[in-house]
Every structure is written in C-alpha cells, then in structure tokens.
Structure 1
Amino acid sequence: MTAAEFQAELDARGLYCPEPVMLLHNRIRDVAPGEVLKVRATDPSTTRDIPRFCQFLGHELVSQAAQGDEFVYLIRRGA
C-alpha cells in the first residue's frame, strides 16, 4: 500500500481488545468524509471488530489483509 492510497494512519500494534477499536473510533473523526485511514494492528480480534465497526458506523472497509503477524485495514470514512 502506498501513501497515495490513504490520507491518515493509526498504529494499534501491540494493543489488545478493546483498545484498537477505541483508538479507531477517535482517529476516524480526524479524517474528512471520503478520505482513507490505514490501520495497523496485531490483535487477531480486529479481524472481527473492525469490519463490524465499519458496518455499524457507516464506514467503508476498502481492504483487509494479514501481513505476517500484522493486520492492515484501509477504511474510507463515511458521511
């Protein structure tokens, strides 16, 4: 993923549920609607929690990938 694909980043590596989603909830507010936030996490529960977060709050989960022991998400902020 290149920097051109996202406008902001959240590093939640080393944090465990519920911290990654709590930080995501705060960080997504700093991103303008339509912009993309890249999230990096190591907690496997984010594979369940982040898609639900996006669905519940109307954000688009652009991509979700596992890279070694990290999980990387691109989230487009909804209106």
Structure 2
Amino acid sequence: MSESSEYQLDARRLLCPMPVIRVQDRVKGLATGDRLRVFCTDPGALADVPAWCRVHGHRVIETQEIDGEVEILIELG
C-alpha cells in the first residue's frame, strides 16, 4: 500500500464558487487517501467544500475558522 501525502491549497481572497473550483482542479492530480488542506477567506467555503466532497466521495476530516480564515482538511476517497 502506498503512503498517502498531504498537500495544501491556498484559496484565500477568492469568492464563491472559486474555492470549490480550485479544490476540484487540485484533487485531479492526487491519489485516493491523499489529504488536501484548504485555506480560504470566503466563509461560504465552510458549507460549499464539504457539500462538494459528499457529492464526489471525499471525506472532510476537520474544519475550523480562526480570525476570518477557514481551514478545511479533506481526505480523498
């Protein structure tokens, strides 16, 4: 079994739907089990990115919002 890796995506200062589009583009090059940590400033991403993950079979490991910045950790399904 290959080791999974963690990657980061900076989607700060992007408004809906751009954070989701950037996540969609980024996961194309990743493997099942890899993790993607997404940083956003659009509070809508807290709902939009997990909804996109449910549709596409990925799992949200954690979400947090600190000082107006959203961080979402996704595990690819």
Measure, in 1, the Cα distance between the counterparts of 2:29 and 2:8.
10
Name stretches of at least 5 consecutive residues in structure 2 with no aligned partner.
none
Residue 52 of structure 2 aligns with which residue? 53
Measure, in 2, the Cα distance between the counterparts of 1:57 and 1:76.
11
Name stretches of at least 5 consecutive residues in structure 1 with no aligned partner.
1-5
Measure, in 1, the Cα distance between the counterparts of 2:12 and 2:50.
17
4+ runs of 1 displaced by more than 3 Å?
Answer: none
Measure, in 1, the Cα distance between the counterparts of 2:28 and 2:69.
24
Structure in which a larger fraction of residues adopt helix: 1
Q: Would you say the 8 A contact 2:46–2:72 is kept in 1? A: no
Output the aligned Cα RMSD.
Answer: 0.9
Q: Which amino acid is 1:73 matched to? A: I
Residue 21 of structure 1 aligns with which residue? 20
The number of residue pairs the alignment matches comes to 73
TM-score (normalizing by structure 2): 0.90
